[in-house]
Structure 1
Amino acid sequence: MSKKCLIVDEMHESIQDLLSQIGIEPVYRPKASREEILDLISDFEGLLIRSKTTVDRELVDKAKKLEFIGRAGAGLDKIDVEYVESRDIEILNAPEGNRDALAEHAVAMLLNLLNNINRADREVRNWIWDREGNRGVELSDKTVGIIGYGHMGQAFVQRLRAFDCRVLVYDKYKKGFGTKNVEEVSLEKMFAKADVLSLHVPLTEETRGWIDAEFFGQFKKNIYLLNTARGEIIPTRDLLDLLDSGKLIGAALDVLEKEKFDQLSAEQKSLFENLFNRKNVVLSPHVGGWTFASFKRINEVLVGKIATHYRIDWNA
């Protein structure tokens, strides 16, 4: 088999050796510009991306030999899935590679939020010793509502079992997954019972802007929010209004509606400054799932799926 794969995003150094092991020639060009990718792609059967590169009609039409696209991660929002599949190009992703890292990060953010850890740390460093003001909330007393029960949602649920909290899960596209530890519920039941909402859905046209003020208004309780999915699912202005009203007690956000800070408008920057100044908001820079171990494991998952695509017997 003589196949070539173009790698256009930064990936763990193991990717080239792993591809070579299954007989695919890697061409590592993580610094390639959009124009360079368009010039190169016609010579390749494979393309590996992360989040820099958009795979749209323009790129696919130039990829005359392309047989597979690998996404080093879970989300496919940078890929025109319908058009790619119409060209009989297989799309491979690797949620199995970073689901554990994401789940651990999600638990860490939630515990941080419930126990005021960031705020307490800042105060102690400023010689403020306020025990009462930083009294925490126990997760075991709460009902955690989860939307999305794919690889990420399932890994998060597995970690929650250690805390003995009640877990409710809604997934529009999955049924019959309820167990003694996980209650499969409707949105209406989640609105009635949840104390915490954790999002584990992909960014699609259906989910973009879906979790807005109207959505949160249906919860019977004031709640905590955890978002390690995609920032565009929640409008920032609605998020601020909900924090102002108290409907959101607090939020832990690994993702933002717009993450390229150098491209923010004056209005967007003002909204984010408002968000960043809040003591009941915990933030991280889209690093859920982005550990040293997952960086390498994603490669192994992807190459394993490429090997399966070509019916190659291979184990990392």
Structure 2
Amino acid sequence: MTSPTCLIIDSMHESLFPMLTAIGWEAVSLPTITRDEIKTKHHGFDGLIVRSKTTIDRDLLGENPTIKFVARAGAGIDNLDVEYLHEKGIQILHASEGNRDAVGEYTVGALLSLMRNIPHADHQVREGIWEREDNRGEELMGKTVGIIGYGNMGNAFARRLAGFACNVLAYDKYKSGFSDAYCKEAGMEELFVETDILSLHIPLTNETRKLITLDYLKRFNKKIIVVNTARGEIVSLADMAQAVQQGQVRGAVLDVLENEKLKTFTVEQQQAFNILREKTNVIFTPHIAGWTFESHVKINVALTDKIKALELTR
């Protein structure tokens, strides 16, 4: 019996290939393949591994795909047409376990950097300015942290807050009974009342796209800090700029943006970005929360473990 084969259409860490071999799979890696080429080359493969190259949908795979699974090398699956894949009986695998530790660490680190004015203070010292009072920060201890989405990422963040004596509240529309040693399950109304720091850990769906608007942010009783390491399209950039200008949001960490191709900003997006980039209470990073050397390998471990588990039902 020949080994099952998978087509890899993105650049992947080299650790993936011996892992696949070890579980009896053959891999064909075509990281420079175009979308049109995928349409003809995917036939005959048992699996497809993708990162972010293209959308996996009916237009790409057609009506009679041979693949049995699509594995996303990352946490989100917003580039997968879930309805189509379910219709065709194609299993969806993703690797949120692989970068949850990286996201948890980043979220704490970026939040501390913001609250202690580290980027601003560093910039001043480099410019020859030694100003202590201007950079007086605040402590994370005692703050109420509201987490929206309590999956792998939300839980990883909550675990890393355990040593800071925070009050951690978590809301997840699709879960219940998940209070644990690291968080208390709460409704959104409680988050609106109690939250000092809001951290987003939800996937991008039709339901969550532009969820965070100015009106939404105004529902919080306190002037809050917002951290987004999830997906940029969840937060309206224009509304975030207004909320920061008006003081409803007193600080923000934005690792993701609604448009991450900065040179293709709309006029509205550019105006909002121009406002935010002048603010010392806003930190930007280029979608790196889950982007570590270790997570590169851990993602492959998570994917191969899940592919191996499929062997039980092949």
Q: Given the two structures, how large is their TM-score scaled by the length of structure 1?
A: 0.96
Show the counterpart of 2:195: 194
CA drift at 1:130: 1.3
CA drift at 1:289: 1.0
Separation in structure 2 between the aligned mates of residue 263 and residue 219 of structure 1, nearest angstrom = 32
Separation in structure 2 between the aligned mates of residue 53 and residue 181 of structure 1, nearest angstrom = 37
Separation in structure 2 between the aligned mates of residue 310 and residue 54 of structure 1, nearest angstrom = 26
CA drift at 1:62: 5.9
Q: How does 1:174-193 map to 2 (within 5 A)?
A: 174-179=175-180, 181-193=182-194
CA drift at 1:15: 1.3
Give RMSD over aligned pairs.
1.3
Give the length in aligned residue pairs.
Answer: 312
Q: Deviations over 1:190-240 (max 9, x none)?
A: 100110000000000000001111111110110000110011001000000
Identical-residue share of aligned pairs (%): 48
Show the counterpart of 1:139: 140
Unaligned runs of at least 5 residues, structure 2? none
CA drift at 1:63: 5.8
In structure 2, do the counterparts of structure 1 residues 49 and 181 end up closer, same or farther at CA, with 3 Å as the change threshold? closer
Show the counterpart of 2:283: 282
Q: Does 1:208 align with 2:214?
A: no
SS at match of 2:156: helix
In structure 2, do the counterparts of structure 1 residues 286 and 63 end up closer, same or farther at CA, with 3 Å as the change threshold? farther
CA drift at 1:123: 0.6
Show the counterpart of 1:30: 31
- One-letter amino acid of the counterpart of residue 218, structure 2: G
Show the counterpart of 1:294: 295
Q: Is the 8 A contact 2:9 2:29 kept in 1?
A: yes
In structure 2, do the counterparts of structure 1 residues 14 and 109 end up closer, same or farther at CA, with 3 Å as the change threshold? same
CA drift at 1:180: 5.2
Q: Is the 8 A contact 2:241 2:273 kept in 1?
A: no
Q: Is the 8 A contact 1:9 1:53 kept in 2?
A: no
Separation in structure 2 between the aligned mates of residue 162 and residue 274 of structure 1, nearest angstrom = 35
Separation in structure 2 between the aligned mates of residue 273 and residue 40 of structure 1, nearest angstrom = 44
Separation in structure 1 between the aligned mates of residue 121 and residue 44 of structure 2, nearest angstrom = 56
- One-letter amino acid of the counterpart of residue 11, structure 1: M
- One-letter amino acid of the counterpart of residue 27, structure 2: P
Show the counterpart of 2:262: 261
Separation in structure 2 between the aligned mates of residue 26 and residue 261 of structure 1, nearest angstrom = 34
- One-letter amino acid of the counterpart of residue 130, structure 2: W
Q: Is the 8 A contact 1:225 1:251 kept in 2?
A: yes
Separation in structure 2 between the aligned mates of residue 265 and residue 213 of structure 1, nearest angstrom = 19
Q: Given the two structures, how large is their TM-score scaled by the length of structure 2?
A: 0.96
- One-letter amino acid of the counterpart of residue 110, structure 2: M
Q: Does 1:91 align with 2:96?
A: no
SS at match of 2:11: coil
Q: Does 1:16 align with 2:17?
A: yes
Unaligned runs of at least 5 residues, structure 1? none
Q: Is the 8 A contact 1:213 1:238 kept in 2?
A: yes
Show the counterpart of 2:116: 115
